[in-house]
Amino acid sequence: MKKQKTLAGSAQFSGIALHTGVRATLRITPAPVNTGILFCRVDLPERPLIPGSARCVVDVQRGTTIAISKTAIVYTVEHILSALHAWEIDNCIVEMDGLEPPIADGSSLPYYNMIAEAGGAVEQESEVKSFTPPHPILVEGGHTQIAMFPDSDKLTISCITSFKGCPVDPQFFEYELNTETYGAEIAPGRTFVNFADLKQLLAMGLVKGGSLDAAAIIHDGAIICKEKLRFQNEIVRHKILDMIGDLKLTGMRLTGRIIAIRPGHPKNVELAKKLIELAAEQA
């Protein structure tokens, strides 16, 4: 029987938030069994706790946003959730002093390393909630298709991306979720944006904290970033990073094989919700 896990200690990370452009601090602390992942807005008087659950997702455009009220809201939770998923953290409190976590370099590597600095994961007394879908699942819409099959005792993701104007296109990567390999193969993958989309976001008053320190830009057949690409297929690795984060919103340890074609937050979260529904039916 696998046991639930929490953090061995606490750690924090500070930096600039992507959309608001303000300095933000995120702190992670251990939590008792059956707590799940809770985001605490310490800047608000009531210090509300927002569950890191697909049931609390209120927006999936340009990132995954969770909320329990108009004020108790947290943007772009997918990177920290991805790192927590990789470390098999089932229970912890994520304290934030604003709407957004720091964007850092646009990857989840700073969060993965922060968890390592906290001592990594430690087992707790209660049994973990695991789930494998009883039959194949398909979610699709637009250019996206995601299928999940119950034929693996690990969580394996095979992903294909395609972006107009990207010099390396299409991109493919297959990854089996593992704490150690995640830090080397997935966590360093940085977020990216098409130049046309970037202009639109700027016009909307967003990405105030954006820079080449925090993202790669696809423009006119090239990828523009401050440093060279960390992987030739860095874009598809970041898509897998996001999916791992969004699937953490199920609150379960998942096993199965996922085949994803041009995935994004809308269908990632739809898959997470379907998995929660299936688990409830089987309970």
List pLDDT tens digits, range 89-98: 999 999 999 9
- Given pLDDT bands bounded at 50, 70 and 90, which one contains residue 195? very low
pLDDT for residue 21 is more than 80 = no
- Token pair for 152: 């693996």
pLDDT for residue 22 is more than 70 = yes
Residue 251 falls inside a structural domain: no
- Average pLDDT value over all residues in the chain: 90
Given a contact cutoff of 8 angstroms between Cβ atoms, the answer to whether 139 and 270 are in contact is: yes
CA distances from 134 to 54, 247, 256 (A): 20, 17, 10
Average pLDDT over residues 256-283: 96
Q: Which domain holds residue 119?
A: 3-130
- To 10 degrees, what angle do helices 234-247 and 265-282 make? 30
- Token pair for 84: 């927590």
Residue 103 falls inside a structural domain: yes
Contacts of 164 (CB under 8 A, 6+ apart): 194
Residue 191 falls inside a structural domain: no
Average pLDDT over residues 57-73: 94
Number of domains in the chain: 1
- Token pair for 9: 């200690």
Residue 178 falls inside a structural domain: no
Catalytic residues: 265
Residue 258 falls inside a structural domain: no
- Per residue in 207-246, pLDDT (tens digit) is 554 555 566 666 566 666 667 788 889 999 999 999 999 9
- Least confident range from 19-28, 53-62, 105-114, 238-247: namely 19-28
Pairing of strands 256-261, 155-161: parallel
Residue 163 falls inside a structural domain: no
Q: Report the SS3 class of residue 43.
A: coil
Pairing of strands 23-30, 11-16: antiparallel
CA distances from 254 to 49, 83, 124, 258 (A): 24, 15, 19, 11
Residue 83 falls inside a structural domain: yes
CATH number at residue 41: 3.30.230.20
Q: State the residue for tokens 């997702």.
A: 57
- Given pLDDT bands bounded at 50, 70 and 90, which one contains residue 130? very high
- Token pair for 46: 């009531």
Question: How far is it, in rounded angstroms, from Cα 6 to Cα 93?
Answer: 10
Residue 145 falls inside a structural domain: no
- Token pair for 250: 């199920």
- Per residue in 6-17, pLDDT (tens digit) is 999 999 999 887
